[in-house]
Structure 1
Amino acid sequence: MAALNELIHQPVRLRIMAMLAALPEGVQVTFNMLKKQLELTDGNLGAHLQKLEEAQYVAVTKTFVQKKPHTYVEITPQGRKAFEEHRTALREILES
């Protein structure tokens, strides 16, 4: 049986990873789009993204567009693999 990933299993991080894993490889989303879709505050989303970034499950890119800061987030290959393994573990639990 596959093991659950404790870092991903936290509900907010699971939702973040699910959203990012649903996107094609290499596609980034804005911080604000994630915040709006998941109905989170800046601080809450930022804290969860920091944990996922430390584990190298997401890449966070900060840029400036017309002198305004923009933050983009994408799932890494390592993050996609970890999410798929977590999903497999959940499926095994639900099907047993």
Structure 2
Amino acid sequence: MAALDNDPEPLDFATLKAISGATDGNLGAHLQTLEKAGFIAISKEVIGRRNRTWASLTVSGRQAFREHVSFLEDIIHSTQTMRRT
């Protein structure tokens, strides 16, 4: 989600795999779950004899991701505040 949020263009499976360090199966499972949740859109393209899979964030996916990041930042800030007192 972070990689997709950082790039306005769809990213292909190989790029996402390289960024995440995930295996084919693990990345595929995550993408399926995110697609079912409506957070990403998957498109496929045939180039020569090979299929190429592209992923992009949906509007609701981008919003959900940013809300999640904000939630994590709130936790970090509240933890830092608690340690200072």
Corresponding residue number in structure 1 for 2:77: 95
The CA distance in 2 between the partners of 1:82 and 1:38, in whole Å, is 19
SS of the counterpart of 1:71? strand
- TM-score by length of structure 1 reads 0.77
Which one has a bigger Cα radius of gyration? 2
The structural deviation recorded for 1:66 is 1.7
The structural deviation recorded for 1:34 is 0.6
Unaligned runs of 5+ in 1: 1-16
The CA distance in 2 between the partners of 1:84 and 1:38, in whole Å, is 19
Structure with more contact order per residue of length (Cα contacts < 8 Å, sep ≥ 6):
1
Quote the RMSD (CA, aligned, Å). Answer: 0.9
The CA distance in 2 between the partners of 1:94 and 1:72, in whole Å, is 33
Runs of 4+ in 1 over 2 A off after TM superposition: none
Q: How many residues align?
A: 78
Corresponding residue number in structure 2 for 1:37: 19
Instruction: Map 1:72-87; keep pairs closer than 5 Å.
Output: 72-87=54-69
